[in-house]
Structure 1
């Protein structure tokens, strides 16, 4: 398979100024797939200048014209699925089924924002009702300018599309900085951009480290808007950097999400949704429901069923169709998760499933799906984001206790609730301090609904019309109705 490995700047594949490279690793085998360009501040400068040159013409297009490009990108993703799916699995470690789901999300995202771009003209110049007849006012929505999009390694191309599609729809030109761990699939966007005829400079892709090119991009005075998905620690640094020039910022950060299971739940369905919420994508999800709260009256029964289900999860080569969970995506993440499991064994929690690397897997970053019970509330296992297939379980007695435990976190991205009590559903939906509540089902994602969190889980929203608004500036034009004299 041929891989794009250079930088995509101003519509062309170019080498970095300093000729540096980064190794890209297959997490299932630890083998080097290829090397890609390692951009630096000089390359960030080139990309920003290309985006600024392209901005006036791109933002002056009608929403319908921009929507046409987005629609063609959506179609190109569908047409390239046979290439994109195995590339996602190779570089990230997702199973083929997970990678296929991702590509469908990406295509749907571009198609959705094509529609919103086409509808943007209807929002322009809307009159504002004023209390005075001596004035009239109307509303305009304008591009936020040049946007820097910094995306993570756990859902490459998905999170890119969540940022890129609305940014382009809004009339922004962009610089995408992929994770240095999983850059290969984002680089495919360069070929897609050329295929659909996207004007040069509208999309630029710079691969490299956060320190090498991410920080210079955030600091650049020619970047008007930053959108970042990743850790809360990195997000706070980006926010501090953006404050120096008062850039617009949207941040989708960490999580330690709760799943609440009540005694009227169906055990089999609850176990399926619990496993999906923590073991999908090898637990590498900011929204992973890694804190499980179970009502005490069904706790033993549910725990037995959960342990049995976890034992049946096959971990291994993500290209094998029977495998349900692939490797972690990097050596650093593998070491971090194993360290968290070791700490869990020492904090007083009880290990009931998994607990380490996968026996017999001599190479690759494979970790067993792991479950701890009786997890202390002050432990790192209960409080800190692990970003791996590690579940912490506790029992509760009352709804009030469950709600208090669920909200007792510095994060607030999502929560899951499993119950048949409609009044309880209404109460908890209103009281859980999170950006998205999933009721009686898996974390099914729809581009029409918002994504983002409360507290330290971030600022702003992605997806839906709210995602488009993140890349628009609001302008009002107010004029006097009376002529002078």
Structure 2
């Protein structure tokens, strides 16, 4: 069940967030107008001056307070997230843990990554001192999705704030309760912070578009490819730079020398966690023919044991968006009609608002279930003659977010040939939970990076500073130019650059 719009007498329009399994209203939030959004950005911009002035040490202290506050109030978040999305508390716990690591890591490493550094001036300007620093942009806008509302909010805030920016978050209308809770947790942990430094706005597409047009200095968006294209087009009106983390059709390769028990366990979890509603979920598997039968037997055994329901510790819960169930039904129907086999589940597994595990085998490569993002608890397992064939099929997509490889001896060389923003060897999705490595995609999966050094620099502008340490008599940067100077530089160029570099 989607968020519903209600008119409230004497107040602005509001949206009600409902549990998709029970229909329970979890929270009611305003539908912010364009003027509201501009005001939120203005508050963040005013507060950002104070925040930037704290320096790296002052910001780190407050980010550490935030981590402690979140850890101490985690049970409150688990309950809210379970009520809002019907998600098992374990999924919310997984999101929180990854978010806490992002906050901790970004605050601890911001000075090392962004602080001023001395760099070599080069031969032509050897009498100059050269420095590079990374300055805050000002205010970052962050638009987050409904499928991982805790993690994406905390992650976006972590890198923007650690880099010295203010931030305004627009959570999905389907997950506004947890999104707002996460944003407000920062001020609760740091009551000395000026109002609005970490702000939020709620609403539908118009509110998101207003944030794109509000004058933010960068817009970070996590969501679908079609919406990402609209975000980019809207931001282009004001030349606002964007970070886009979009969809995926992640592939896993199972080589002949793979640990099949580990591969089966990982594929089942990676394809079904969060009901498959994950941009980096395992959607395609290419297993070499030599081990296919044994691998399928292990996957079948594990997938049939997965539990689905409203229990707080179920393996996964309901589908959040009803329209996504229609996509799943279309993909599965098309695959079966074109000769695929349902190893686990099938069309009868689709029982809204739930979809029980579906494992499809031998699906045509040009089918919707292989070419399009399914975003549900469905995984396709296809054959490959050998590793080369598996790599070619894995790379045969417009997406390029994540990937994984199972091989005892050849994991690194296989991973190097995969076109994706991240690859995990002998596991799945690990790069998402590591704050020290960049996370993002290529192709239709977007561009820009969260996490790591790259993630911090995404929310800054590079600033070069040079100053003259001493004069050199006749300078190249002044008139007149003399024959003597020309001859000296001519000899230096031939001597320095005309020979083989070591």
Regarding TM over 0.5, the answer is yes
Question: Which SS does the other structure have where 1:411 is aligned?
Answer: coil
Does the Cα contact within 8 Å between 1:66 and 1:117 map onto a contact in 2? no
Structure 1 match to 2:382: 394
Cα offset for 1:306? 1.5
Query: Does 1:434 pair with 2:420?
Result: yes
Structure 2 match to 1:84: 77
Cα offset for 1:118? 4.9
Structure 2 match to 1:208: 203
Which residue of the other structure, out of 358, 367, 371, is the alignment partner of 2:355?
A: 367
TM-score with structure 2 length normalisation?
Answer: 0.87
Aligned-residue Cα RMSD (Å) equals 2.2
Question: Which SS does the other structure have where 1:101 is aligned?
Answer: helix
Structure 2 match to 1:351: 342
Structure 1 match to 2:148: 155
Cα offset for 1:93? 2.7
Structure 2 match to 1:181: 174
Which residue of the other structure, out of 447, 454, 470, is the alignment partner of 1:459?
A: 447
Does the Cα contact within 8 Å between 2:303 and 2:344 map onto a contact in 1? yes
Structure 2 match to 1:381: 369
Does the Cα contact within 8 Å between 1:17 and 1:42 map onto a contact in 2? no
Question: Which SS does the other structure have where 2:464 is aligned?
Answer: strand
Q: Which segment is superposed worse, 133-142 or 68-77?
A: 133-142
Once residues 329 and 252 of structure 1 are traced to their aligned partners in structure 2, the CA distance between those partners, rounded to angstroms, is 20
Q: Which runs of 5+ in 2 are unaligned?
A: 1-7, 474-502
Structure 2 match to 1:339: 330
Question: Which SS does the other structure have where 2:145 is aligned?
Answer: coil
Cα offset for 1:213? 0.5
Call closer, same or farther: CA 1:71–1:357 in 2, change over 3 Å.
Answer: farther
Does the Cα contact within 8 Å between 2:335 and 2:364 map onto a contact in 1? no
Once residues 304 and 189 of structure 1 are traced to their aligned partners in structure 2, the CA distance between those partners, rounded to angstroms, is 42
Once residues 437 and 188 of structure 1 are traced to their aligned partners in structure 2, the CA distance between those partners, rounded to angstroms, is 32
Q: Which segment is superposed worse, 100-109 or 329-338?
A: 329-338
Query: Does 1:286 pair with 2:279?
Result: yes
Once residues 192 and 119 of structure 1 are traced to their aligned partners in structure 2, the CA distance between those partners, rounded to angstroms, is 26
Structure 2 match to 1:11: none
Q: Which runs of 5+ in 1 are unaligned?
A: 1-14
Query: Does 1:415 pair with 2:409?
Result: no
Q: How many residues align?
A: 461
Structure 2 match to 1:5: none
Question: Which SS does the other structure have where 1:28 is aligned?
Answer: coil
Structure 2 match to 1:238: 231
Cα offset for 1:17? 10
Once residues 56 and 460 of structure 1 are traced to their aligned partners in structure 2, the CA distance between those partners, rounded to angstroms, is 25
Query: Does 1:219 pair with 2:213?
Result: yes
Call closer, same or farther: CA 1:403–1:478 in 2, change over 3 Å.
Answer: same
Structure 1 match to 2:476: none
Does the Cα contact within 8 Å between 1:461 and 1:470 map onto a contact in 2? yes
Once residues 129 and 135 of structure 1 are traced to their aligned partners in structure 2, the CA distance between those partners, rounded to angstroms, is 6
The 5 A counterparts of 1:187-336 are: 187-195=180-188, 196-197=190-191, 198-210=193-205, 212-220=206-214, 222-319=215-312, 321=313, 323-336=314-327
Does the Cα contact within 8 Å between 1:130 and 1:137 map onto a contact in 2? no
Once residues 216 and 247 of structure 1 are traced to their aligned partners in structure 2, the CA distance between those partners, rounded to angstroms, is 13
Cα offset for 1:199? 1.9
Once residues 394 and 442 of structure 1 are traced to their aligned partners in structure 2, the CA distance between those partners, rounded to angstroms, is 18
TM-score with structure 1 length normalisation?
Answer: 0.90
How far does the alpha carbon of each residue in 1:408-432 deviate from its partner, in whole angstroms, 9 at most, with x for none? 11011111111112xx223212111
Cα offset for 1:69? 1.3
Once residues 67 and 25 of structure 1 are traced to their aligned partners in structure 2, the CA distance between those partners, rounded to angstroms, is 36
